[in-house]
Amino acid sequence: MGDRPRQLADLLASVAKQDVAPEQVVLIGNATPLDDVSADVVKVPLEENLGCPGGRNVGLKLLCGSGRVDVIVELDDDGLLVADDVFRKIQQLYASDPELGIVSFRIADEQGETQRRHVPRLRADDPMRAGQVTAFLGGAHVLSVPMLNQIGDWPERFFFCHEETDMAWRALDAGWKIIYEPSLVLEHPKTSPARHAVYFRMTARNRVWLARRRLPLLLIPVYLGVWIGLTVLRIRSASGLMKWLGGFWEGLHSDCGERRPMRWRTVWRMTRLGRPPLV
């Protein structure tokens, strides 16, 4: 969590009103004090900001180690569960499909609008279309504990940006399904990821790391070439582009962690699902 006490209180209240109670609620304070949180939850204040994946891993370790949960719901601290049957629907989804690894929520603003970047598929014109996808949203999703036991946890070194893609590609390569379920809604203020000072650098660095870690060698230059072209077309700020190029260079010349490229049959599976690992 960050430093949004009012939004956090609203989120915890929306969790408490669910018609299926969670086994446990864990609140991770990423270099943020939790003294003012009055809700009856497990509080884990961290002295150091470990970033999105690092903070999530602290929660995963605690929950997976309990042996009492089969799935874990992760939510941004400034989100809100509008309906009170979210956890019941999640139970039903996982009970009906033992191969289900990840469920992605629909993120909508206060007016119910879903931004195109929040629809985890290339054809993002219909945010209400459910089904199998190759990516998921970091702000609101569900993870299968058996899947995590097989593929591992979040890539902490990413800190911010593309950690979801790294996990999604590992899950798909291990044979798990990822679905987008728009009936599961997290209300979230409309924002731009570029509001974060580190966005341009880390989105470039981590994209290079992602390619080096997870793609077959033949696809790495293609994937990175596509994203260089898209970025040059999209970024309107000269300073933003320079930061992005600096991050790209950093990604090429820094330690990306262990390389475990996906199999070619996973590339084909992703292609059949509408998004090959090229864009």
Instruction: Quick: pLDDT tens for 68-90.
Output: 899 999 999 999 999 999 999 99
The CA distance from 153 to 61, in Å, is 9
Q: Where do the structural domains in the chain lie, given as residue ranges?
A: 5-191, 194-272
- Name the pLDDT band for 38 (thresholds 50, 70, 90): confident
* Tens digit of each residue's pLDDT (9 = 90 or more) over 2-37: 457 889 999 999 999 999 999 999 999 999 989 889
Percent of the chain with pLDDT over 90: 88
User: What is the CATH T-level fold of the domain 5-191, as seen in this structure?
Assistant: Spore Coat Polysaccharide Biosynthesis Protein SpsA; Chain A (3.90.550)
Surface-to-core class of residue 276, CB atoms within 10 Å of its CB (0-12 exposed, 13-18 middle, 19+ buried) = middle
The CA distance from 242 to 124, in Å, is 29
Q: Residue 208: enclosing H or E segment and its boundaries?
A: helix 199-214
pLDDT for the residue numbered 260 = 98
What is the mean pLDDT of the segment spanning 86-114? 97
**What are phi and psi for residue 27, nearest 5 degrees?**
-115, 120
- Name the pLDDT band for 192 (thresholds 50, 70, 90): low
- Name the pLDDT band for 66 (thresholds 50, 70, 90): confident
Among 88-92, 115-119, 147-151, the least confident range: 115-119
**What are phi and psi for residue 179, nearest 5 degrees?**
-125, 150
pLDDT for the residue numbered 1 = 45
Q: What is the mean pLDDT of the chain?
A: 94
pLDDT for the residue numbered 147 = 98
pLDDT at 164 over 60: yes
